[in-house]
Amino acid sequence: MTRPQTKTLASAALFAAGAVFLAWSAYIPIKAAVAQVLLEQAWQRTLTGDQTAKPWPWADTWPVARIAVPRLNRSAIVLHGASGQAMAFGPGHMTATPAIGAPGTAVIAAHRDTHFRFVKDLALGDTIEVATADGDVRDFVVSATKIVHAESSGLNPTLAGATGTTLALVTCYPFDAIAHGPLRYVVFADLVPEEKLLPS
Amino acid sequence: MFQFDYADADYMRSVWLERISSALQLLTALTITLATLSFSHYASAQTTNATTEAGPRLTLTKMSDVGSGGLLLKSQYDGYFLEAPALATDVDISVNGLIARTKITQRFENPSQAWVEGVYVFPLPDNSAVDTLRMQIGDRFIEGQIKERQEARRVYEAARDAGQRASLIEQGRPNMFTNSVANIGPGETVIVQIEYQEMIRYDGAQFHLRFPMVVGPRFIPPVDAQLVSYGTAENTQIVYRDPVPDADRITPPVLHPTQGQQNPIDLTVYLNAGIPIEQIRSAHHDIKVKREDENGAKISFVHQDEVANRDFELVWQTKSGNKPLTALFKETRDGKTYIAGFVVPPKDSAAEARQSRETIFVIDNSGSMGGASILQAKESLLYALTTLVEGDRFNVIRFDDTTDSVFRTPQLVSGQSIAVAKRYIENLEAEGGTMMLPALQSALNDTSVEIDDEERLRQVVFLTDGAIGNEAQLFEEIDRSLGRSRLFTVGIGSAPNSYFMSRAARLGRGTFTHIGSERQVKERMAALLSKLSAPVMTGVSVSTRDAAAAEIWPNPLPDLYAGEPIVFTAMVAEEAPRFTIRGQTLKGAWSTRLSVKDAETASGVARIWARNKIASLEEWRFQGANLTTIDTQVLAVALEHDLVTRLTSLVAVDHDVARPAQTRLETQDVPLNLPEGWDFDKVFGEQVPTRRASYQSPEAKVMLASLDTSSTSATGAIGDDTQGLALPQGSTDRWLLLIIGLACMIGGLVMSVLQWREISAASRRELI
């Protein structure tokens, strides 16, 4: 094989590889977005009583809650379990933590470049609306944010904020990093007690 | 072609072209490597990515990746699993007369690649006095120290977090302990030794030694809500009471039978009965008996592959026959003399007239009784029905998460009523939860007053495996509602909760028995039913001339049923006091005297006395005594005698730091075998209203919220524990992939452009 031929092949290979990577890169957000559409349908079934409504037949996870931030006009269906597979499709509720809306701190994790892109824009006092499978819709208010190390987060799910029921939204930090890192950004939101919602 | 062209700038250009093209090739190779790396990274360790420079990566496995071999448990990372710590147990029991000293060696092996804290929940006899903990690392031994429970935990946790090896023995129930072993390195083994003493049980002219091997899965009743009114309607509140506040600590994971059995166990008994032995039997294990002399024997397992899945029960008979048996043992410790006394009162030969009875049988048909247990329980009950005579009243109550009875009220024995009850019992199936309290309440509910029929003896025979976590709640109920009834417990199955059986019987002023196989049904039930007639001795007391000179436990001494001895322990001030033992028999007052001068010296008496004292004090708790006073007294005795109790723990800490800083420690439970004969699906089918469910119930929410008053800061979930929850990966590779993709395309583009220029340059030259 002569040199020009080698070079032609090499440049073709580079083009092809580039195309694959670009497609792959595009596939991640597309998958994340498409999954949310399917999850939205599964969620409707969940609300009608199917506790583990699978979004597609071979799924190993199912919707457990729906979170929405009215100010940022964002919402997402939260999945059971925060394994890598589940988090490709939606925010995952870590099974090692209390159920969402139960006493203690329920941890929901998602990728900062897909479903939790909005997390960096959350500000203290923002309201997060949380709908759970039992049909309840409760408000949580952002009470704190913190940057922690993933392996030593110090986060104890049995503890909670002032109202006893806290939600922690976890995503990667820094927000604009290219590669994975050890730091996590945690947004704490405390349950708004029902009484406060009543007109006084 | 252009290699031959030395002269001009074209040459230089070709050199550059070559350089650029090799650089691009290099870039391609690099990109592909990077991509591969990043892909494997993404696929295999998406949640464990955040490894710091200092520590090695934790090797976790996904369930779908499991090939074979090791047992996997959930790790702290969602969706990932870690090989469970393996355990092997070695038990040496030395029996000297009526006192047994047991040494348990637990070998914890960590087959995983992570640093592990192993947590093992294990049973011991309910009257065991644990006093020694020793941790072996290599050829060094670290002795455990007795400390107050919280202090011991602080010491242990500090050592654990600092990376030192440590072991902590805590009591969950008097017959259930937890051993936490911190910082077992990848592939390492840590050995922990525990020692305790106990008194041998004597009943029906036989000596009984029981060694439980596995804690059967316990049913945890849900939190119950009660309305409490403080005078006015506005001040009425719902109060939530969790019947098992420590449920998380007593519910270790249980292996599904398809996962095989773990925890191999080897056991040896060195028996020295003190008197000639006639017969030695083991009820549930095949044993080899090597007789050393007529008083002694060495007993070991026939099979090398026994696993910890059922109680070991050794029964021996001596040649003493029916002669009254008396024995006194003493030990001097810290200037105090401790006595253990043992008296078998002479048999009452007078044939007593049979008093008519009202017997309430209660049978547990919850899921944990599934398999062999329910068969044994049914057979025991059917046998018991045959011993009822005309004129007796009876009823049969069954319970799982519901309670129900054959008859609404106790019925007179007749061919018809017995037939109805038999059919009812035969149709029972074991399923559902174990809500024991309502069944106990209805059994103790004495309806004889309403029909003016109080002459009968009222007895409750309670057949269960005791697989519940709310013992305290049940004990309180027995003490409150006993009235003139007497409660007899029958521990069914291969791994009954003996603590529940014995204490419930004591508070119920009855006695208990164990039935662990169908072979034992007839013999044991017959013995129990003969006891049911009436206690052979009541009002038992032990005294010395100077009452202040001796502290005698248990207090009060229980009523004696046929075949049972009087067993007491005392701490005496005098050198050689004499004990007077009194009691009421059916024939009248009985008494005997014992002199300490005749006592044999035996080690362990002091600690048995201490354990008896603690057991009695704890019993008073259920009878409404002042809790603070009890705690103070229990603590004092426990610390003086180095005993593990509800308030004290043993902790051993190695001074060396083993685990490198920044390396994570994974906490893993040692999984337990399902007790032999139990039905996994029945047991865990029953777990519907358990911890996790109640965790989310509104009652539990209120309760847990009220516990969390300490953490009111904004980031309330950040506790003192520096490690905390391991958080999953929070970003995808999309930007990295995009950059790599763009780099590749730009590279390819640059290369083609250069190539095109090169080709056109060459063709230009050719034209010239």
Amino acid residing at B242: D
- B136 and B270 part of one domain: yes
Q: Which two tokens stand for residue B243?
A: 């019947």
Task: Identify the residue whose tokens are 């998460």.
Answer: B401
Q: CA B766, CA B768: separation in Å to the nearest integer?
A: 5
- B269 and B364 part of one domain: no
On whether residue B591 sits in a domain, the answer given is no
Final residue belonging to a domain, choices B477, B508, B531: B531
Residues of A in contact with B696 (CB under 8 A): 98-99, 102
Helix (H) or strand (E) holding A31: helix A3-47
Q: CB neighbours of B253 closer than 8 A, spacing ≥ 6?
A: B73, B669, B671, B672
Q: Summarize chain A as % helix, strand, coil (round to 5).
A: 30, 30, 40
Q: What is the pLDDT of residue B16?
A: 67
The alpha carbon of residue B37 and the mean position of all alpha carbons in its chain are separated, in whole angstroms, by 45
Question: Along the 200 residues of chain A, how does pLDDT read in single tens digits?
Answer: 556 677 788 888 888 888 888 888 888 888 888 888 888 888 888 888 787 788 888 888 889 999 999 999 988 999 988 887 788 888 999 888 888 888 888 999 999 888 898 988 888 888 999 998 888 888 999 988 888 887 777 788 877 777 788 899 999 888 877 777 788 888 999 888 765 444 44
- B37 and B161 part of one domain: no
Helix (H) or strand (E) holding B18: helix B9-44
Q: What is the pLDDT of residue B123?
A: 94
- B251 and B130 part of one domain: yes
Final residue belonging to a domain, choices B498, B531, B564: B531
How many helices (H) and strands (E) chain B has is answered by 14, 38
- B427 and B365 part of one domain: yes
- B237 and B370 part of one domain: no
Q: Which two tokens stand for residue B414?
A: 């007749």
Q: CA B69, CA B83: separation in Å to the nearest integer?
A: 9
Angle between helices B518-531 and B372-386 (to 10 degrees): 40
The 3-class secondary structure across B52-68, one letter per residue, is CCCCCCCCCEEHHHCCC
> Domains in chain B: how many in total?
3
On whether residue B635 sits in a domain, the answer given is no
| Closest Cα in chain B, distance from residue A109 (Å) | 7
- B150 and B298 part of one domain: yes
Q: Which two tokens stand for residue B76?
A: 């702290």
Of A116, A163, A178, the CB nearest to B735: A178
- B425 and B527 part of one domain: yes
Of B28, B76, B737, the CB nearest to A13: B28
Q: CB neighbours of B345 closer than 8 A, spacing ≥ 6?
A: B324, B536, B537, B560, B565, B566, B583, B585, B590, B592
- B20 and B86 part of one domain: no
Domain that holds residue B7: 2-44+743-767
Q: What is the pLDDT of residue A48?
A: 84
Q: What is the pLDDT of residue B730?
A: 78
- B95 and B184 part of one domain: yes
Q: Residue B664 in contact with residue B55, Cβ under 8 Å?
A: yes
Residues of A in contact with B725 (CB under 8 A): 94, 96-97, 107, 153, 155-157
Final residue belonging to a domain, choices B531, B546, B562: B531
Q: CA A84, CA B47: separation in Å to the nearest integer?
A: 6
On whether residue B327 sits in a domain, the answer given is no
Q: What is the pLDDT of residue B179?
A: 94
Per-residue pLDDT of B282-316, as tens digits, reads: 989 999 999 988 889 999 999 988 999 999 999 99
On whether residue B23 sits in a domain, the answer given is yes
On whether residue B508 sits in a domain, the answer given is yes
A168 → chain B, closest CA residue: B717
Domains and CATH numbers, chain A: 3-197 (2.40.260.10)
Cα dihedral across residues B594, B600, B606, B607: positive or negative: negative
| Closest Cα in chain B, distance from residue A11 (Å) | 4
**Which of B316, B326, B312 has the alpha carbon at shortest distance from B206?**
B316
- Is B691 in the A-facing interface, judged by CB distances under 8 Å? no
Q: What is the pLDDT of residue B522?
A: 87
Q: CA B394, CA B406: separation in Å to the nearest integer?
A: 10
Q: Which two tokens stand for residue B184?
A: 């077992």
Q: What is the pLDDT of residue B324?
A: 53
On whether residue B93 sits in a domain, the answer given is yes
Residues of A in contact with B712 (CB under 8 A): 161-162
CATH number at B520 reads 3.40.50.410
The 3-class secondary structure across B389-449, one letter per residue, is CCCCEEEEEEECCCEEECCCCCEECCHHHHHHHHHHHHCCCCCCCCCHHHHHHHHHCCCCC
Per-residue pLDDT of B439-464, as tens digits, reads: 999 999 988 777 777 778 899 999 99
Task: Identify the residue whose tokens are 């040494």.
Answer: B103
Contact B722 A154 (CB under 8 A): yes
- B499 and B438 part of one domain: yes
Of B723, B725, B752, the CB nearest to A11: B752
Q: CA B535, CA B352: separation in Å to the nearest integer?
A: 12
On whether residue B337 sits in a domain, the answer given is no
Give the residue ranges of chain B where pLDDT is below 50. 1-7, 40-59, 63-69, 322, 686-714
Contact B737 A14 (CB under 8 A): no
On whether residue B736 sits in a domain, the answer given is no
Strands B512-515 and B486-492, bridge-based pairing: parallel
- Is B52 in the A-facing interface, judged by CB distances under 8 Å? yes
Contact A161 B715 (CB under 8 A): yes
Residue B255: CB atoms within 10 Å:
18
Q: CB neighbours of B405 closer than 8 A, spacing ≥ 6?
A: B395, B396, B397, B398, B442
Task: Identify the residue whose tokens are 């583009």.
Answer: B749
Order the strands of the B201-203 sheet from edge to edge. B201-203, B206-211, B312-318, B277-282
Q: Residue B360 in contact with residue B397, Cβ under 8 Å?
A: yes
User: Hey, which residues 632-671 in chain B have their CB within 8 Å of chain A?
Assistant: 662, 664
Phi and psi of B306, rounded to 5°?
A: -70, 140
Q: What is the ipTM of this complex?
A: 0.79
ω before A57 within 30° of 0 (cis)?
no
Q: What is the three-class DSSP state of A152?
A: strand
Contact B738 A15 (CB under 8 A): no
Phi and psi of B138, rounded to 5°?
A: 60, -120
- Is B75 in the A-facing interface, judged by CB distances under 8 Å? no
Residues of A in contact with B731 (CB under 8 A): 111-113, 171-172, 177, 180
- B291 and B389 part of one domain: no
